[in-house]
Structure 1
Amino acid sequence: MSLAADRKAGEACALRKNRCRPTRTPLRGAEPGRDPSKPLRRDWERVRDEVLRRMVAAKFRTHTDIREVLLSTGDEAIVEDTTTDHS
């Protein structure tokens, strides 16, 4: 699931999410949801944190290797460091 795709409104949102899933890279998967010509969900500001929480939880439930890396950080601060995703 692409966060950017989930931000978009209505039935088209579900169609875009399904197109995002099979992409070769996360950056390519996010592109449809970042299309400024498509409206955001009207309730995006209200639901954003819950959508993010669910997506991150699903990611770490699914991928045990990265779950173990995350758990090994203990109480350390985690900072995103990427040169490709600037949203």
Structure 2
Amino acid sequence: MADERNEVLDAIRTRVASLTGKDASEFSEDTSFKDLQLKSVQYSQLTTYLEDEFDAEVPYMTFRRKETFGDAADYVVELLDM
């Protein structure tokens, strides 16, 4: 499970880095989505990416309410275990 969570967290960091033009190493599980001020389209691109990567449906509105990358990774892992 820890490996799965790390894989999801890495995917979130990688995708957000490409969406924001920052380096993935700048992000940790404590990184706040609010601080990044992502646009709706960026959240949509992130959830679509995660769905493709992990073959799971990631509800956009619920995902968007997650405060940190760690919270989001925990949520996606829960979806994978269903």
TM-score for both structures, normalised by structure 2: 0.34
TM-score for both structures, normalised by structure 1: 0.32
